[in-house]
Each structure stands twice: as C-alpha cells, then as structure tokens.
Amino acid sequence: MNLLSLQWMFYEIAECIAVDGFEIMDKFNPKNLEENVDAFDQALNKYFAEYEKVGICPKHFESMTEYAEDYNKEVSEEI
C-alpha cells in the first residue's frame, strides 16, 4: 500500500515539475518485504535529491508524536 501511495505521489509531482519518472511498482516483490523496503527507500532518496537541488532541507522526525507536535506548533504560530 505504501509503495502504491508513493507511486501516485511521484505521478502527481511529475505532472507539475520537470523530474524523471520513477516506476516504483516495477520493483514490487510480494514475496520479499525487505526488497520492498529498499525500493521505497531508493524512491524517497530520489525525491530527497529533488529537494536538495532547490535548497530545501526536509525535516526528519523520530516519531509521529514528534511530527504532530512540530506541525501543531507551526499551525498555532500561523494563527
């Protein structure tokens, strides 16, 4: 499911900006979850490289709680 969601995200990005396509579902192996994790990580690294090209530094969070706290802090500052 995560691979498919990431694939659709890549399709949407490619429609808006000039980036090479990435067919992550071609790498899907239902018999080997570790290979799927590697494919997912490779795809995210490709996406991350696009951020670096334009000088954007993505945030990294250790947990969903940490992400939610950061997000709520930013939203409350905007209000």
What ranges do the domains of the chain cover?
2-78
- Residue 35 is which amino acid? E
Torsion 30-34-35-38 (CA) sign:
positive
d(CA 26, CA 79): 43
- Packed helices 2-16 and 33-53: angle between N→C axes, nearest 10 degrees: 20
- pLDDT for position 21: 67
**Per-residue confidence at 14, pLDDT binned at 50, 70, 90?**
confident
pLDDT band of 79, cuts 50, 70, 90: low
Q: pTM, whole model, 2 decimals?
A: 0.57
